[in-house]
């Protein structure tokens, strides 16, 4: 008898709803922050935010292990295993959170010298590092409670909290900037929002997972070793993920200048939203894959994987197509012509991420099956090449060189290595894997070539580009893409019809 599980569609839609709120807030809030902080001040804010992002490595990949082992324990009705994972993880994450806070206090002053921050901004720079460090430290145990909820596939609950937190952070940011605090107060909203998030998830987790009991006797060194062994390889992959976008700002800040950090950050932010569209939708797969593997439902696991691969590729190629066609207009409309330097960076990163994000379910499958060891080795090589190539090209090509340093090794891995490895662990043929992805890539490429080769705007009697004509053309292109794909891909057609009938 199969276990009744939450709807992947509802979970994915709730993830996208949360992301939509974040994107909407970011769309309006980013130019607002820039107008109050200036290009250099915004560059400092991005620089510190990205640096603090590396604190995520302190959890040593255990975050990904929590969801996997909790989902398996729930599927196997193993309450002892669930409590052992939860209590051990809470203890570990509370410890690493404290370490993150201490490191922020210690390194706030030396980092001011390292990044050659203007003396007039040094105190603000140090204040941001300390406050974001405290917020990050508190987010570690909060993540454990959130993972407990998602292990039960209750993404709707998590996303309601996340939407509230996003809105609260945005409102507080506006109030801080309107009060004239500027850089000196920009980090306080993140700290306040993190505290509220920690309280909310800790309370909700007890309701959603009534089997959970907070008791020290469940803290096991054996469980910690299990989580760390799994998490060790996850950490390596996380390092590569951080390097892809976040280390770029550090390279630019050190070798080019903080003003260029802000320009690059605009393109990186758009790509991050692109990434989040796919990851938020496909992120619901890891606990499902883990539960199917735990209950030995292998044929359903394979079919779920192939369906998700088709959907991920479909969305990645469609969204990437629109970015490559209208990205220049969007940047000028959003933040103004002074950030036009971000346009070629956006194009380069978008092309690479189309191939990467199309295969997002493969990453979830690796983690769910505990088969991410080999992939961790590959991403280590990618990360090293990324850093070296970005530094080398930065001296001659500036931020475009940094973008190429990120894109080139990423595409090599995503085209020539990941498809074959994922096919093997999923026990499917390379042809099945390719068939789920390639139609979407080919159709998107043909539509891009068609649009760029002909003046499509003139065919519809549009004499200028503005937000309305671009919106109309985006809708026309999206419908054309949808129609063609649904005509040639049976799997996508079935999925779309199921959405219409529910």
pLDDT at 1: 42
DSSP 252: H
Whether the CB-CB separation of 397 and 407 falls below 8 Å is answered with no
For residue 252, give Cα distances in angstroms to 27, 110, 255, 408, 451. 24, 19, 5, 18, 33
* Closest to 447 in 3D by CA, of 330, 287, 265, 323: 323
Quick one: tokens of 390?
């970005």
Quick one: tokens of 242?
């951080």
Which residue numbers in the chain have pLDDT < 50?
1, 461
Residue for token pair 């996997």: 68
Quick one: tokens of 187?
């980090």
Task: Please tell me the pTM assigned to this model.
Answer: 0.77
* Closest to 292 in 3D by CA, of 305, 281, 283: 305
| Interacting residues of 264 by C-beta distance below 8 A, sequence separation 6+ | 248, 249, 252, 342, 345, 399, 402, 403
pLDDT at 118: 77
**Residue 500's CB: how many other CB atoms inside 10 A?**
6
| Interacting residues of 418 by C-beta distance below 8 A, sequence separation 6+ | 359, 362, 375, 378
In SS3 terms, 433-494 reads as: HHHHHHHHHHHHHHHHHHHHHCCHHHHCCCCCCCHHHHHHHHHHHHHHHHHHHHHHCHHHHH
Quick one: tokens of 290?
């883990």
């Amino acid at each position: 008898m199969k276990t009744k599980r939450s709807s992947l569609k509802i979970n994915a839609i709730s993830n996208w709803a949360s992301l939509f709120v974040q994107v909407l807030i970011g769309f309006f809030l980013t130019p607002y922050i820039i107008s109050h902080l200036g290009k250099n001040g915004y560059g400092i804010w991005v620089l510190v935010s990205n640096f603090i992002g590396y604190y995520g490595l302190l959890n040593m990949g255990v975050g990904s292990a929590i969801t996997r082992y909790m989902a398996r324990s729930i599927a196997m009705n193993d309450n002892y295993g669930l409590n052992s994972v939860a209590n051990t993880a809470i203890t570990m994450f509370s410890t690493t959170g404290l370490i993150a806070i201490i490191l922020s206090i210690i390194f706030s002053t030396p980092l001011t010298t390292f990044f050659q921050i203007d003396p007039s901004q040094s105190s603000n720079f140090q204040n941001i590092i300390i406050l974001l460090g405290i917020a990050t430290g508190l987010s570690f145990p909060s993540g454990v409670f959130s993972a407990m909820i998602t292990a039960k596939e209750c993404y709707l609950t998590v996303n309601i909290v996340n939407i509230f937190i996003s809105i609260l952070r945005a409102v507080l940011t506006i109030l801080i900037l309107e009060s004239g605090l500027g850089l000196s107060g920009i980090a306080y909203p993140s700290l306040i929002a993190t505290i509220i998030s920690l309280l909310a998830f800790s309370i909700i987790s007890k309701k959603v997972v009534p089997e959970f009991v907070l008791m020290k006797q469940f803290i096991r060194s054996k469980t910690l070793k299990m989580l760390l062994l799994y998490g060790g390889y996850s950490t390596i992959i996380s390092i590569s993920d951080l390097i892809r976008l976040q280390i770029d700002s550090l390279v630019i800040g050190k070798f080019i200048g903080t003003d260029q950090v802000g320009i690059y950050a605009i393109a990186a932010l758009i790509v991050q939203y692109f990434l989040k569209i796919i990851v938020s939708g496909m992120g619901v797969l890891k606990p499902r894959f883990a539960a199917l593997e735990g209950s030995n439902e292998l044929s359903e696991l394979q079919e779920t994987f192939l369906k998700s691969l088709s959907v991920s590729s479909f969305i990645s190629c469609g969204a990437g197509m629109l970015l490559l066609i209208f990205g220049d207009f969007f940047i000028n409309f959003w933040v103004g012509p002074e950030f036009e330097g971000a346009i070629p960076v956006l194009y380069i990163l978008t092309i690479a991420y189309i191939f990467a994000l199309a295969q997002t379910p493969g990453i979830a499958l690796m983690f769910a099956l505990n088969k991410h060891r080999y992939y961790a080795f590959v991403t280590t090589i990618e990360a090293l090449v990324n850093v070296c190539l970005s530094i080398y090209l930065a001296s001659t090509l500036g931020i475009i060189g940094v973008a190429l340093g990120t894109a080139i090794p990423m595409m090599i891995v995503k085209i020539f290595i990941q498809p074959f490895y994922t096919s093997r662990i999923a026990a499917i043929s390379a042809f099945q894997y390719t068939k789920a992805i390639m139609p979407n890539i080919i159709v998107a490429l043909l539509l891009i070539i068609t649009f760029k080769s002909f003046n499509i705007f003139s065919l519809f009697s549009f004499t200028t580009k503005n937000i309305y004509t671009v919106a109309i053309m985006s809708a026309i292109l999206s419908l054309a893409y949808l129609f063609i794909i649904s005509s040639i891909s049976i799997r996508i057609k079935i999925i779309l019809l199921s959405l219409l009938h529910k």
